[in-house]
Amino acid sequence: MKYTRELTTLVAAPVAIWIIGWAPESVFDGALALVAGLALYEFLDLGRHKGYRLPMVLCILLMLFIFAAFIFEPVSVEMGVFATLLLIPASYVFGRGVLDEALPSSAIAVMATLYVGMLGGSLIRLHKDFPVGWKLVLFLLIVVWIGDAGAYYVGKNFGKHRLSPRISPKKSIEGLIGGCITAIIAAIVIQLTFFREFPLHHAAIAGVILSLTGVVGDLAESMWKRSAAVKDSGTLIPGHGGFLDRFDSIFFTAPILYVYWVLILNGFTSFRIMSA
């Protein structure tokens, strides 16, 4: 259906904004855990397309344990990482799979669990660790997705020079530039409308950083899909593919925005206050 991508965005956007900005924190955490669980399932399914035996249920349970560690302070995130590194290999030790497949299978399972659990979990920390956390999450989603849309439409209409033909033949340098410009514009508009706590020049810089790193995250997922000979990670989001397709750049950029806000923005503010 024509414009399926746009219609899906129009329907989903108000729901996402409500969950991030107005719903109880438990609703945000639950929605994110659901998205992450589906994204992890799709990630592991890529490995299954390659013929590897992967412990789906164990990986999802371990990912949820990592998420719980991000949500509940007494639980240690490190314990979730340790459990992943210990229990997934142990499942192969006591399993009956082909021994020659144990190394790549266990590596894929561990990597997928930590990738979604740790990077997705950073969204929880971004949302809950700061008084403006909900604004940071909205800033991240809008900037990355608007940048992605800008890259898509600019590349579709003006793209001539391939950005990474080996991994994603449709992505172009023109699209990358268009994505950066639209991400900067989105960041500035957000700052001027509802996020005054984010200094304008920092918002613009963050827009560039998130746009560029989002492309890397998207290319990484495209690389894995191409390796598995799969076009989309799933079909649950009309016009957008699967949840891993839609959130690959978000997972990749969430910890980067967290670090930017804590180390660069807060450090700059502290220095300015101390110097005054």
Mean pLDDT confidence for 164-180:
89
From CA 276, how far away is CA 271, in angstroms rounded? 9
Q: Where are the beta strands (DSSP E) in 40-81?
A: none
Residue 228: enclosing H or E segment and its boundaries? none
Average pLDDT over all residues of the chain: 88
- Convert the pLDDT of each residue in 235-269 to its tens digit: 666 656 788 988 999 999 999 999 999 877 666 55
258-262: which pairs have CB atoms within 8 A and are 24 or more residues apart?
A: 258/122, 258/125, 258/126, 258/129, 260/202, 260/206, 260/209, 261/126, 261/130, 261/136
Tens digit of each residue's pLDDT (9 = 90 or more) over 21-69: 889 999 999 999 999 999 999 999 999 988 899 999 999 999 999 999 9
Half-sphere exposure of 29 (CA within 13 A, CB side): 15
Residue 53 belongs to what domain range? 4-275
Cα Dmax for the chain:
67
Q: Which residue type sits at 67?
A: F
Overall domain count for the chain: 1
pTM over 0.85: yes
Confidence (pLDDT) at 276:
37
Residue 180 has pLDDT above 70, yes or no: yes
Burial code of 9-27, b = ≥16 C-beta within 10 A, e = fewer? beeeeeebeebbeebeeee
**Which of 3, 1, 12, 18 is closest to 145 using CA atoms?**
12
Query: What pLDDT is recorded for position 270?
Result: 47
What pLDDT, on the 0 to 100 scale, is given for residue 6? 63
- Residue 170, pLDDT > 90, answer no
Q: What is the pLDDT of residue 156?
A: 84
Neighbours of 86 (CB within 10 A): 12
| Cα distance between residue 268 and residue 68, in whole Å | 32
* pLDDT tens-digit readout, 70-80: 988 767 899 99
The pLDDT assigned to 271 comes to 41
Provide the residue type at 152 as one letter.
Y
Contact assessment for residue 230 and residue 49, using Cβ atoms and an 8 Å cutoff: yes
Whether the CB-CB separation of 250 and 32 falls below 8 Å is answered with no
